Structure 1
Amino acid sequence: MDAVTITGTTRLYAVLGAPVTQVRAPALLNPLFARLGKDAVLVPVDVAPEGLDGAVRGLGAVRNLDGLLVTVPHKPACRALADRVTEAAGLSGSVNAMRRLPDGGWEGANFDGEGFVRALRTAGHDPRGATVCLAGAGGAGSAIAVALLTAGARVTVWDVDPGRAAALEARLAPHFPGCLAVSPRHVDADLAVNATPMGLRPDDPLPFDPARLRPGTRVADIIMKPRSTPLLRAAREAGLPHHYGEPMLAEQLSLYREFFRLG
């Protein structure tokens, strides 16, 4: 990895999470800053949920800090801390990026969903008309649900917290009538997606069993590290096509570039 030169003029960005050992954003954003000739650096910041409010407000006082990226588990909580949000973030109820407003406040956006859909399309899999089973109604899962529905898919969502899945359905039903349902188990689908943190730790259970999916179902996991998650290994063993997590982040680079006004 090339050395990053930090000076007194360097602009700061932080990615907030708990944990942050798995984050891939610095490895993608810092080279982007270098290619653009930006004197800027993105660093991971490990913040426990109980300290998030103070961390975000404290970082707001850092005058050379221009933006935040947000990862698990802070995306819904950061939605509440943003002074204003984009339409997609408002629908999903979560944010994964925050930029400084002229008055010092924060504007929140969520690019997880659009990044995920762009990655699917880049790989030759347009979700329009597809039936999708989605595990996870948290920050990333909610954003992915919004993007898939906007792209013309029909989505069935499951979450370990049934109330969270029901809240997502209630929030999105007026915007996508008849296209989103809540189910305790996966149904026949063209695409099955893990948008939960299950797989970050070696002893995590699988969010669903690929062997119980119908032949040809594509299995996608948004976890980026490890690249080959237990879920994707199980999908390969079941003979199912699969889709890795990192392309979702790679497809967000142009969105971050525009949002943070990097030129």
Structure 2
Amino acid sequence: MDENVDGTRLFLIGSAASGAMSPGLWNPVLEQLGTSWRYEAWDVPKGFPMAGVRDRLLEPDVVAANVTMPHKQWAAGSADTTSEQVRLSGASNMLIRTGGTLTAYNTDITAVGELVGRHQRHIVMLGAGGAARAALVALQGQADRVTISDRDAETAGQLLVLAKGLGFAAESALWPEAQRQALHASLIVNATPIGKRPDDGPVWGGGRLADDAFMYDYVYAGHVTASITAAREQGLKCADGWDHLRAQAAAMIPLLNLTPRAETLLKSRVTLLQAQS
């Protein structure tokens, strides 16, 4: 990133970016590494004029931007160059400026591949946005069957098209049916905001999961989500939002040309933030 030597600012772009942990994760790490970079939250609501966002990201003081809900598909489409993972998923959670161009990456995909890492007999995907797209690309060729559900039927349909294009034996289901199927699945992915509130129940609605189930919850919060609590009480394998936050941040290190020491610092910082929340 030699062309970005004057850049000092990294952004998190999303509709609720100011409530995210990423600035609190990255800023102490960047300081310990001796960089002059600062990581800033930028709330960009749905429907905001995104052409202005792209123009801002091309200014010389910008290094890169993470992108979260609901703009991951916009990020993939707005980039000048995309990684193969972004091309497959149609979603990006990271834009890096190089001169006057933006390159799109998806470190969510790397994180899911690292944390799940085994063949699945049946995936139930609850939620169908950018996070769900990343999970499907990460698990391509590693599942016998996938069921997709979202409260927005159009969004679910779009993910179904992607899943079939990736070679999955895929189907869509209405929300109550998908929750019932989750009870028998080997992997349940929560790609929704369910769990952000302390009074939210498990994303599948409750009940005992299969003995070989893996619960993957993208949500991180100042409490353990009900989905993770229920999976742990059953003795099941799981990855929570903090695990995902660490893994996707670690995948950013080589893309930003940071020293490998950054990964150790990130792990320590995630542990501290989790303990404080």
TM-score, structure 2 length as denominator? Answer: 0.78
Q: Deviation digits for residues 229-262 of structure 1, max 9, x if unmatched?
A: 133334456x352432111121123321122233
What letter matches 1:135 in structure 2? Answer: L
Aligned to 2:189: 193
Q: What is the CA–CA distance in structure 1 between the aligned matches of 2:119 and 2:212, rounded to whole Å?
A: 17
Aligned length: 247
Aligned with residue 28 of structure 1, among 21, 25, 30: 25
Aligned to 1:182: 172
What letter matches 1:17 in structure 2? Answer: G
SS in 2 for 1:50: coil
Q: What is the CA–CA distance in structure 2 between the aligned matches of 1:12 and 1:80, rounded to whole Å?
A: 22
Where does the alignment leave 5 or more consecutive residues of structure 1 unmatched? Answer: 1-8, 121-125
Q: 1:99 to 1:85 in 2, by over 3 A?
A: same
Q: 1:167 to 1:10 in 2, by over 3 A?
A: closer
Q: Deviation digits for residues 27-79 of structure 1, max 9, x if unmatched?
A: 33223323433221111111112225044224234311110001122212222
Aligned with residue 151 of structure 2, among 160, 164, 176: 160
Aligned-residue CA RMSD (Å): 2.5
With a CA cutoff of 8 Å and minimum separation of 6, indicate the structure with the bigger relative contact order: 1
Aligned to 2:265: none
Q: 1:212 to 1:228 in 2, by over 3 A?
A: same
Where does the alignment leave 5 or more consecutive residues of structure 2 unmatched? Answer: 1-5, 260-277
Q: Which has the higher helix share?
A: 2
Contact 1:210 1:235 in 2 (8 A): no
Residue 173, structure 1, aligned to residue 164, structure 2: yes
Q: What is the CA–CA distance in structure 2 between the aligned matches of 1:170 and 1:129, rounded to whole Å?
A: 20
Contact 2:124 2:148 in 1 (8 A): yes
> For residues 87-98 of structure 1, what are the structure 2 equivalents within 5 Å?
87-98=84-95
Aligned to 2:44: 47
Q: What is the CA–CA distance in structure 1 between the aligned matches of 2:206 and 2:244, rounded to whole Å?
A: 21
Aligned to 1:85: 82
Q: 1:47 to 1:23 in 2, by over 3 A?
A: same
Shift of 1:111: 1.4
